[in-house]
Amino acid sequence: MSKTISECFFALIVAVALGAAAASEAHAQNYGSGDFNVNGIRQANQVNTGVVVDVVRSQLYVEPNAGSRIAGAVIGGAACGVATRNAGSWYVQGAAMTACGAIAERVVTAATTGNRQAVEIIVKLDNGTVLSIAQEGNASSYWRGQRVYLIRGHGADRVVRAS
C-alpha cells in the first residue's frame, strides 16, 4: 500500500510541474515579455513619435487562463490515475484522480494569476495629442522627456523607446 501512496505523491509532483510548465507557456503567449505575440507578425502597424510626459507605476492583474486550468486538472488526474492503477477499487482510483486533478488545477491557477509589474505611460505625440498607454513593464525603463514610438495596430498599442 505504501508503494501506491508514494507513486501517487510522485505523480502529483510531476503533474504539478507539467501543469506549471503548460501554464507558463500559456502566460507567455498572452502576456509575454516580448513586444508582441505571434498574431502581430507580418502585420503593418501605425507608428507615431512623441515624448513621455509622465510615468506611473501600476499593477496588471493576470486572470486565470482556461486552457492552463484544464491542462493542470487533466495532467493531475491522469498522473494519479496511473499511480493508483493497482488500487484495487475503481472508487479509490476515481477519488484519487479527482483530488489530484483539483489540487493540480489550483496550483496551476495560483502560479499563473495575480498582479504583475506594469507601467502607465503618458505620451504627448508630435501632433499634440496626449495619450495614456498601460503595459507590462518596469517604470524605470521610461522617464519624462524621453523620445518614444507609439505603435498602434490590431488592438495592441504599445510604447517603445526611440533609438
pLDDT per residue over 113-158, tens digit each? 777 788 899 999 999 999 999 888 888 889 999 999 999 877 778 8
Average pLDDT, the chain: 75
Question: Which pLDDT belongs to residue 145?
Answer: 95
63-114 pLDDT per residue, tens? 777 777 777 777 777 777 777 777 677 777 777 777 777 777 777 777 777 7
Number of CB atoms found within 10 A of residue 79's CB: 26
In the numeric block, the cell 507608428 is attached to 47
Range of the domain at 144: 2-161
The model carries a pTM of 0.52
Question: Which pLDDT belongs to residue 17?
Answer: 59
C-alpha–C-alpha distance, residues 112 and 24, integer Å: 7
Query: Domain tally for the chain?
Result: 1
C-alpha–C-alpha distance, residues 119 and 117, integer Å: 7
Question: Where in 4-157 does DSSP place strands (E)?
Answer: 46-62, 114-125, 130-136, 147-152
Question: Which pLDDT belongs to residue 147?
Answer: 96
In the numeric block, the cell 503618458 is attached to 122
CA nearest to 110, candidates 159, 64, 77? 64
C-alpha–C-alpha distance, residues 143 and 159, integer Å: 12
Yes or no: say if 102 and 90 are a contact pair by the CB < 8 Å rule.
Answer: no
C-alpha–C-alpha distance, residues 66 and 137, integer Å: 24
For the cut 50, the answer to whether the pLDDT of residue 33 exceeds it is no
Q: Judge residue 72's burial from the number of C-beta atoms within 10 Å of its C-beta, 0-12 exposed, 13-18 middle, 19 or more buried.
A: buried
